[in-house]
A and B are shown apart, each in its own frame.
Chain A
């Protein structure tokens, strides 16, 4: 056991996979300990910024296809818990921490407006725990550890959503709905992990991949796979399992909605990707059948049904929530096609949709601040009163539709490319058609904002700079990543490669 004495000291660079998680994890309880809402905000922001810088550094390290492996407590995998960072999760880590870093300056005013002062420190503590959980789900290379971090993020999410009760009591029932469904999802996931553990005797993902390689016909493994897909499907809000999402996004405080919409479902999709392509091999017959006959049809259903429902919503927040369900459909479609290009499309859409929805929900948060509600009927003619906010909505809306020159275009173009590559021209057509539905609901809102006359006697000021700047940082990111695709495309294709290569190096 005298191993520690002979090991060379680790540098801070070696510790990065861990520090990304530990910094926000420690900042959370520190917020409570200081008990001051200004310090809490500052801690949250600094922790988030630190995680962002660490993730960026890690992405640079692994972009050439390297893998970082960190052994917790010095216990070597497969026995010990391993944090394993390759291009796929470094990219998702960068997305989550980047979004959080931009949201927090915005959060300050918005939270002050929507949540009572007493709860601010606890709010930032929960936010940091949720952030930690999401990062942890992505960084870890241990299947059971995924579940632990998933619970950390979920439990804090329930609290965060319930904090919307200040504005609308329905936040409580929405949080409760999500609690029940989220718990079922997490339970299914852990049952699936249990089955895999019975069959293989290991929890390390790399080790699982090796041991599962010749277990194609094993019923236990197949059942485990089914449980994991359904469990994560619930968390990712794949179409028929999305029922918690509209309520949760609609009634949560604006900042929480921005954060969840941009990151939470993305982390779940990442886990799905990891399990479907790294832990299980796509060559498995049962997996191929699942992808072709279950995942693909559900994805197409989501693209149309959820977009159609979105078009009929009267609450802008709920409209965007349904649009999120539809957009998850595109990501799932990329998984269903299971080629390298389609996986790149999924990963790049994770990113592009993350920044797009961040802009849109930030705009809704601004409307809520100035008009007290997000119902479309209260937003008449705001284009003249809040020009910068509304312009950001237009940019986000265009990216959501997938207009060339915006980030949304890149991911849809890649997805169509993937469909054509396997000669599914009708699928390419469906992708374009469902984008037209997005035009319907985005245009509907733009019409209310710009074409309608403002309501009599209402004056809405522009929101403070601390909210406008983050909003426009994201809006400009939507355009930037639509024009300059070097960073995202390279990362996504390396990530797809490392996913497909799986644990077997």
Chain B
């Protein structure tokens, strides 16, 4: 899309705000609509848009596939790790109140924030991974090549 000047300029302008908006949706999720899943999708959209306009190779330089896989794993571990932390405090799995026994509401606030961050990271990584998988598919063999 080298000759689409408008698309390229606007994409460059948009990528930053999209990521910023994703982070807003992520961390403001407990006061307004949003949360990890939505934020993750929006975050991934920034990369997908960049990939569509500048090509798969360029976006893979920014966010290489091996890193995408690691992030998908890290998100899940963050979620599960929150649960395991509460186990180690002698409470049930994912019982956030255990984090701050004197003031359970604070613990619950922290707990959901970390868990949602885990969701966000995994969703963003998986979305990008799915885009890579589809975009990197070799073109279907044409009839003459059989």
User: Do these two chains really belong together in a complex?
Assistant: yes
Q: Is the CB–CB distance between B72 and A74 below 8 Å?
A: no
Q: Kindly state whether residue A36 has any CB partner on chain B within 8 Å.
A: no
In this complex, the interface size class of chain B, counting residues with CB under 8 Å from chain A, is 20 to 34
Q: Mark B83-114, 1 if CB is under 8 A from A, else 0.
A: 11001011111111110011011011000000
Q: Is the CB–CB distance between A73 and B76 below 8 Å?
A: no
Q: A residues within 8 A CB of B97?
A: 1-5, 74
Q: Kindly state whether residue B28 has any CB partner on chain A within 8 Å.
A: no
Give the distance in Å from the alpha carbon of A220 to the alpha carbon of B59 in the complex: 51
Closest B residue, CB atoms, query A11: B90
Q: Kindly state whether residue A15 has any CB partner on chain B within 8 Å.
A: yes
Give the distance in Å from the alpha carbon of A25 to the alpha carbon of B107 in the complex: 24
Q: Is the CB–CB distance between B92 and A74 below 8 Å?
A: yes
Q: Is the CB–CB distance between B91 and A29 below 8 Å?
A: no
Q: Is the CB–CB distance between B74 and A73 below 8 Å?
A: no
Q: B residues within 8 A CB of A10?
A: 87, 90-92
B72 CB, min distance to chain A CBs, angstroms: 7
Interface centre among B77, B92, B98, B107 (most CB of A within 10 A): B92
A69 CB, min distance to chain B CBs, angstroms: 11
| Count of chain A residues near B, Cβ 8 A | 27
Q: B residues within 8 A CB of A26?
A: 77, 80-81, 84
Give the distance in Å from the alpha carbon of A72 to the alpha carbon of B86 in the complex: 11
B122 CB, min distance to chain A CBs, angstroms: 9
Docked complex: A1-27 residues within 8 A CB-CB of B: 1-5, 7, 9-10, 15, 18-19, 22, 25-26
Whether A30 touches B73, Cβ cut-off 8 Å, given contacts A22-B80, A22-B83, is yes
Give the distance in Å from the alpha carbon of A203 to the alpha carbon of B107 in the complex: 27
A50 CB, min distance to chain B CBs, angstroms: 13
Q: Is the CB–CB distance between A4 and B95 below 8 Å?
A: yes
Whether A5 touches B101, Cβ cut-off 8 Å, given contacts A29-B73, A30-B73, is yes
Q: B residues within 8 A CB of A28?
A: 76
Q: B residues within 8 A CB of A35?
A: 66, 69-70
Other A-B pairs, 17, CB within 8 Å; known A29-B74, A32-B73, A74-B92: A1-B104, A1-B105, A4-B95, A10-B92, A22-B93, A25-B80, A29-B72, A30-B73, A30-B77, A31-B73, A32-B72, A33-B70, A35-B70, A72-B92, A73-B92, A73-B93, A125-B73
Pick the 6 closest A-B CB pairs, nearest first.
A9-B90, A4-B97, A29-B73, A74-B95, A32-B73, A73-B94
24 of the cross-chain contacts (CB-CB < 8 Å) are A1-B97, A4-B95, A4-B97, A4-B98, A5-B97, A5-B101, A5-B102, A9-B89, A18-B87, A18-B93, A22-B80, A22-B84, A22-B93, A25-B76, A25-B80, A28-B76, A29-B73, A29-B76, A29-B80, A32-B70, A32-B72, A35-B69, A73-B94, A125-B73
